[in-house]
Structures are given as structure tokens and as C-alpha cells.
Amino acid sequence: MSPEEIQALIKDVPDFPKPGIVFKDITPLLTNAAAFSAITEYLAERAAAHQPDGILAIESRGFIFGAALAVHAGLPMHLVRKRGKLPRATVSIEYELEYGTDHVEMHADAIEPGGRYLIVDDVIATGGTAGAVAKLVAQQNGVVAACLFVLELGFLDGRSQLDGLLVESLLSV
């Protein structure tokens, strides 16, 4: 399945979650086995090029793509979640949102010093969450090998928040 065929499956939902926003609904990519398989193959191809030691999947749709990639690539996957959702000792970082702040965290033992990690999520919008994860990896003496996304909302320029990290997206709007 081509990237153009995959992109055609994404649905625009006007005024969600609030008036003036056009939400890009990627759930049809999950209900189409050929599309989901093609996305997984793309992510696996890109992952292999970066020789990672593990995957950091961002809550929550990033878990879906990260898990498929982890199985395909034979890599460990670590969860990156909102504060208070992980059961063991964690490391956390606060980051700026358009109106306020938020936190993400991962288990304290997720990052091996010197280890190379892929940050995986479904969509990169403003880049704030992925940028926070990258900083958390650096604080734990790990290396971000690359950031992989299914869809990039290019008009929001999220790449600029990722401080020169390698960013790869299958689709862009």
C-alpha cells in the first residue's frame, strides 16, 4: 500500500476537540490491515537504519505503533506516559504547552546509559511531547537515534522543537 493510499484513509474531523480545530483521525489506519501492515513495515525499515537498542512509545496511540514495531524489529519497548500512570519508580519532565504545562514520565530503569532509542508516536504536531521525551532520554544519559512518526502536521513546525534530532514521518500534511 502506497503512502498516498494510506494518507487517503485519514479522516478530517472539523471542530474537534474544540471549534476551529481540524482533527486528523488516524483510527482508519488501524482498521485497515493492509495500511497498518504497510505502516509497520515503513517504521521497521527506518528503525533498522538507526540501529536502536529500544523504542520509547508515547501515550497513547504511540503505544499501538511502537508495539507493532517492537515485535517486528525484536526490540524492547518502553512506555512514556502522563504523570502518575506507571507503577514503579519513574523519571519525569515538565514541558510547556500552548496554555500551561504538562509532564511525561518513564520507568527509571528504561534508559541504559549510552543506549540508542527511537521515539515513536502516531502524530507530530507542535513537537512538545517528543521534545520533552528527548530531553528525558538525555538526562538519563541515553541517545535519541531518531524520532519516527506516522503523520506530521508540517504546518505546526514540530520539528523545530526537536533541537536538530533526526525526524522521519511516513506522511505529512
pLDDT in tens, 19-34: 999 999 999 999 999 9
Structural domains in the chain (count)? 1
pLDDT at position 99:
73
Residue 35: inside a domain? no
Residue 9: inside a domain? no
pLDDT at position 52:
98
The boundaries of the domain holding residue 85 are 51-172
Q: Provide the CA 83 distance to its chain's centre, in angstroms.
A: 17
Write down the pTM of the prediction: 0.95
Residue 3: inside a domain? no
Distances (CA, A) of 92 to 33, 89, 96: 35, 10, 14
Closest CA to 121 of 167, 74, 52: 167
pLDDT in tens, 79-119: 999 999 999 999 999 998 767 899 999 999 999 999 999 99
Cell of 57: 512509545
Q: Does an H or E element contain 150, and which?
A: strand 143-152
